[in-house]
Chains A and B, each alone.
Chain A
Amino acid sequence: MTNSPLKNKGPQDIGGDPAGPIDTTDHGMTHWQRQANAFRSVTTMNKIVITDELRRAAEELGSQYGQMQYFEITTSAIKTVLLEKKLFTEEELQQKMIQIRARFNVPDESLSPLKKTPLK
């Protein structure tokens, strides 16, 4: 069904939409998805953000929502809410991402870069 602005039907509100067959296999999770999941879980557990805020931020992705993978949506939503709450700035995040990318050295690396991060 189309998502007309008059309906205010968000991209997440898909119950009843026509859709194709279900891939009934569980594909499990990659290491980064496990990190993203644990990170989201801890941010809500520590009351840094609340689930409803994350849902709202995910819905605000609009037409991008349907194009993104599940943990990309959740990660994007956490970023939005943490920036809103000013827990860090966009510049701090960019700098940190540059640092982490620099540690991430090889495209043919078969292990996750996350595994290589020095333990704190």
Chain B
Amino acid sequence: MKKTSFDIHAPGNAHHDHHDHVHDHDHDEHAPVNEHDNGPPNDYEIMSRAMQELLEEKGYIKPGQIAKRMEEFDEQFPFRGAQVVARAWVDPAFKARLLADGRAACLELGTILEAERLIAVENTPDVHNVIVCTLCSCYPRSLLGMPPSWYKSRNYRSRVVFEPRAVLKEFGTALAEDVTIRVHDSNADMRYLVIPMRPHGTEGWSEEKLSQILSRDTLVGVTVPSITNH
């Protein structure tokens, strides 16, 4: 199936095609509906665009505002979280401020979190943090971009709260038995960012280089950074 050139794919999944994939039918991202740009549009696609045009005509939304927002979601938001954590890795005083007050610390780097109130939580040899929103898909969007498909899925939202170790294993993350797992249900007004442990072998790395091993999944806590792939 031909994909449109402007669809966004997750880093590392650029050539993935849904149709090669065995679907899990409980997955709310994969309900049997047309979610592609090809073929006839589904009603919601038309509806969403119609609402945008109506609000633009009535002056509630400025022309260009939606396009600008799409650009921010594509080109800015997804990269900020890794920059913040890379800074925390190289600057212990900054990390302390990030842990004390996430929003204020991000502002130091020029990152304005808009409406988001951020709590950073730190992985240690004894504690591993993982984030979920069981009620919807609360997520620090202006710091990490859009949540990935799995974060919004029924299976992740249902399960990670009561069997986090099994869920982490499905992401390929095996934690030692004596590590305490700390699950955060991001169900109200705060948003969460995991500060992973900095891997051995990254001594002397620049913030730029460090940020490249800080994938989105590591900042949600389903995986841990590794230098073996770099």
Contacts and interface: CB of A to CB of B under 8 A. Distances in A.
B209 interface: no
B31 A39 contact: no
A41 to B, nearest CB: 5
Contact of B24 (A21, A27, A67): A21
A60 to B, nearest CB: 13
Interface string B60-99: 1101111101100110000000000000000000000000
Q: How large is the interface on B (under 10, 10 to 19, 20 to 34, 35 or more residues)?
A: 35 or more
Q: What are the 10 A-B residue pairs with the smallest beta carbon separation, nearest first?
A: A15-B134, A26-B10, A26-B148, A28-B9, A38-B69, A96-B50, A19-B158, A32-B45, A112-B37, A19-B155
Contacts, number: 236
A68 B27 contact: no
A46 B55 CA distance: 11
Contacts of A67: 31
B41 interface: yes
A4 B167 CA distance: 28
B7 A68 contact: no
A65 to B, nearest CB: 8
Contacts of A100: 46, 49-50, 53
Q: How large is the interface on A (under 10, 10 to 19, 20 to 34, 35 or more residues)?
A: 35 or more
B24 A28 contact: no
Residue from A34, A48, A78 whose CB has the most chain B CB atoms within 10 Å = A34
B136 A58 contact: yes
A107 B6 CA distance: 18
Given A97-B50, A101-B46, A114-B49, A34 B35 contact: no
Contacts of B48: 32, 35-36, 39, 71, 75, 78
Interface in B105-119: 114-115
Interface in A47-73: 48, 55, 58, 66-72
Contact of A88 (B4, B54, B148): B54
Interface in B3-53: 4-10, 13, 16, 18, 21, 23-24, 26-31, 33, 35-53
Residue from B48, B61, B156, B222 whose CB has the most chain A CB atoms within 10 Å = B48
B18 to A, nearest CB: 6
B135 interface: yes
Contacts of B44: 32, 36, 71-72, 75-76
